[in-house]
Amino acid sequence: MTRWFRHAATAFAAGVGSAAFAACLVVAPPAGAAIIEVGDTATDNAPSCPASPCQAVSRTTGFQVRVGEERDAFVIPQDGRIVAWTISLGTPDDQQREFFEENLGGPARAGITVLRTDERNFGRVVGRSGVRRLTPFFGTTAQFAIAETIPVKAGYRIALTVPTWAPALALGLGADSAWRAVRPDNDCTDTEGQAAQLTVGLLGRYRCVYRTARLTFSATLVTRPVRPQPAEPPAPTPTPEPRRRF
């Protein structure tokens, strides 16, 4: 994340409660499937910008480890396909936008990445969406449909990939909220070096942990349909034996 050190407005962005859809998404799951919003937690947190300090996610791929008591909110719970992703964005003022764009490679852009992780905090990219320009959606919660849906398995993680910068970081949470990121040479202070994981198959190590903060995004999962088991035929009713007369 990159911090804005100049004068900034003190009000938090009010756009989290509104919605702007980049594409009209209507999902009709097949019979036996379910729609799950991966990363949807009980606590909604507003992105920091344009508050002071205004912080943004920058040039990395990161995934949420925990939000309060919720540890697995960003872990894929069932096999299926990711069909869309959603991001809540702050509203940087003109000076903040100019600062970020000059120092972090241009306009705000982001997409989602699906990772297969292990206990050593390595993550391999197994799927990704396209990268979208975010500037038109500042101050809103925007949802983007994925043209080629991403197949996923239970246990994979969804991550946010930001090749430039994105005002999608909520601050001031408890120490039990944290996210991990990959950084150049595992230098967690290097928030301007490019480390975004943009290629399927790429392996990175997510050593950098940032606490009291949350990435404000989620992904829409349509689970794999479960084939209904045929009902067993009822047991035949025994035929009563005829009574004999003596």
In a domain, 236, yes or no: no
**Closest listed residue to residue 130, CA positions, set 112, 115, 107:** 112
Please identify which residue in the block is written with the tokens 């045929």. Answer: 230
E strand or H helix that includes residue 35:
strand 35-38
Domains of the chain: total = 1
In a domain, 215, yes or no: yes
The one-letter code for the residue type at 194 is Q
In a domain, 234, yes or no: no
Phi, psi of 184 (to 5 degrees): -60, 130
In a domain, 80, yes or no: yes
Beta-carbon neighbour count of residue 32 at 10 Å? 11
Range of the domain at 75: 2-223
Q: What are the per-10-residue average pLDDT scores of the chain (246 residues)?
A: 32 34 50 88 81 90 93 94 97 94 97 96 96 97 96 98 97 93 93 95 96 96 79 70 59
In a domain, 235, yes or no: no
Burial (CB count within 10 angstroms: exposed 0-12, middle 13-18, buried 19+), residue 185? exposed
pTM of the full structure: 0.81
CA distance 15 to 52: 17
In a domain, 233, yes or no: no
CA distance 55 to 149: 31
In a domain, 176, yes or no: yes
In a domain, 51, yes or no: yes
Q: Residue 240 contacts by C-beta under 8 Å, 6 or more apart in sequence? A: none
Token representation of residue 230:
């045929």
Token representation of residue 120:
């050593």
